A and B are shown apart, each in its own frame.
Chain A
């Protein structure tokens, strides 16, 4: 029940395209859903996060779509650039600073020129 399933495992998109990464969770107690971007040899960096009281959140070129009834959420990257090539992790947790994050398995995104 603690799992967060992420797909696809890898994704190749041409520059300017819109890669979409999907995640699904089972634990209905989760109420905070962040996305992290990780470059090789670096720690993850928080990209954007959403709570279940909204169905969509946009920050710059990154958009999270959230479907509470389906227990799914996804990351869209608009006008993707080669510099967006990285590994993306979705995660989920219950609110509260002490609560641990449950991570998805990651998606390796490659944006080709």
Chain B
């Protein structure tokens, strides 16, 4: 069985500060890992994905995430937060056998302080 745990349901940072959203995964097979973002009243948009290539994955809007097998983590970071980054962020896991059956975490709401 696969699962993800997102640590912190709400994270607040100042504009220009580092963004760090934490995700730990559990998987009995090599995982594919994703970060999605959801803006109010919208569907989910892919930020980045890890599929066993480079462990440091760069995504859209300046976000990146590092796959650490020893820590079973896939934390999302951005060096400098922007007001437009305020949204809900979801970590997700699946495997090669069926990449569409994605299992999502419970989400982290990111707020940006002026």
Chain B associates with chain A: no
